Amino acid sequence: MATIAVEHLTKRYPTGTVALDDVNLEIADGEFVVVVGPSGCGKSTLLRIMAGLDASTEGRIVVDGAASGKHALPSATVFQEQSLFPWMRVGENVAFAFDSLDVPRDDVRRRVHDVLGLVGLSDYERAWPHELSGGMKQRAAVARAFVTDPPVLYMDEPFGALDEQTRVGLANELMRLWERSPKTIVFVTHGIEEAVTLADRVIVLSARPGTVKEIVPIEFPRPRDAVTLRGDPAFGAHVVHLWELLR
Ligand SMILES: Nc1ncnc2c1ncn2[C@@H]1O[C@H](COP(=O)(O)OP(=O)(O)OP(=O)(O)O)[C@@H](O)[C@H]1O
Ligand SMILES: [Mg+2]
């Protein structure tokens, strides 16, 4: 796990677009933080910079007290459009997470097998990605992110392309995985109910340029269940409050 501080983060693209303006955040060790905000407000930009995939114009990301440079973070990412390599079997795709790590082959094989079991894909280890449904592909992508047990996981609308039923199921699976192998998670979504289900805190960004508009703590005890949570009056109250902030 890791603590992350976002300090005075500003991003101006070469085109002149200012995507983020002085964003400041403190994320605790092992916290599950969800970022919401209007389309184009800079959520993906923020996540890419945090993951070391893009540079900020001003400000910095501090992980466990040390300023992180490009590619300095031992993090994993799951993006909406991130597809599996079509030329690799599902098991090989998951094992690819170990590509730059020095882990014995037998360990890799065992951990790939275990994590595929946890996401319900035991029978698909030797399948090709095109043989999977959309939900199964995202499960495999989540498996690939968890298999190395990184301290930080960045997820950008990982379930955005899926139907509501599948999303609810995957939210529960993600929470179970996270409880088994705790890590700091920063998760971007357009799903307000998904945000309230998953988050310890919801970070609400303003329209572009993105700034932190409000931080909403979600106090439901864990373990949580995405379905029963919806019956809780406090759940509805959070959802309405977030919608109000976003309009
Ligand atoms: N590589 C780029 N070059 C120039 N402008 C960019 C680039 N990437 C993003 N932008 C701009 O920065 C702004 C923020 O984009 P970003 O993708 O971070 O928004 P977002 O909050 O993730 O939106 P959405 O909710 O639609 O995914 C947008 O105006 C976008 O056009
Ligand atoms: Mg985005």
CA-based end-to-end distance of the chain: 34
Ligand 1 proximal residues by C-beta, below 6 Å: 13, 15, 17, 19, 37, 39-45, 208
Smallest-distance ligand from the CA of 205: 1
**What would the mean pLDDT of 6-14 be, rounded to a whole number?**
98
Mark 209-236 as b/e (b = at least 16 C-beta within 10 Å): bbbbeeebebebeeebebeebeeeeebe
What does the pLDDT read at residue 1?
74
Q: What is the residue-averaged pLDDT of the chain? A: 94
What does the pLDDT read at residue 71?
44
Positive or negative CA dihedral for 17, 21, 26, 31?
A: negative
What does the pLDDT read at residue 82?
67
Give me the CATH code for the 4-74+153-246 domain, please.
Answer: 3.40.50.300
Ligand 2 mean position, distance from CA 42 (Å): 7
Domain map of the chain by residue range?
A: 4-74+153-246, 83-149
The ligand 1 atom nearest the CA atom of 11: 12
Rounding to the nearest 10 degrees, give the CA dihedral for residues 192, 193, 194, 195. Answer: 50
Atom 24 in ligand 1: which residue has the minimum CA distance? 39
In order, the DSSP letters of 102-168 are ---HHHHHHHHHHHHHHTT-GGGTTS-GGGS-HHHHHHHHHHHHHTT--SEEEEESTTTTS-HHHHH
pLDDT digits (tens, 9 = 90+) for 184-228: 999 999 999 999 999 999 999 999 999 999 999 999 999 999 999
3-state SS, one letter per residue, for 167-205: HHHHHHHHHHHHHHCCCEEEEECCCHHHHHHHCCEEEEE
**What would the mean pLDDT of 82-98 be, rounded to a whole number?**
93
Token code pair at residue 175:
């929470």
Q: Do residues 182 and 105 lie in contact, with contact meaning Cβ atoms separated by under 8 Å?
A: no
Residues in Cβ contact with 196 at an 8 Å cutoff, skipping those fewer than 6 apart: 202, 218, 229, 235, 238, 239, 242
**What would the mean pLDDT of 114-122 be, rounded to a whole number?**
95
**What would the mean pLDDT of 71-93 be, rounded to a whole number?**
84
Name which of 68-82, 87-101, 233-247 the model is least confident about: 68-82
Smallest-distance ligand from the CA of 49: 1
What does the pLDDT read at residue 69?
60
Residues in Cβ contact with 45 at an 8 Å cutoff, skipping those fewer than 6 apart: 11, 19, 20, 54, 210
**pLDDT of 17 higher than 50:** yes
**pLDDT of 173 higher than 60:** yes
Q: How far apart are CA 30 and CA 49, in angstroms?
A: 20
Q: Do residues 136 and 105 lie in contact, with contact meaning Cβ atoms separated by under 8 Å?
A: no
What does the pLDDT read at residue 67?
77
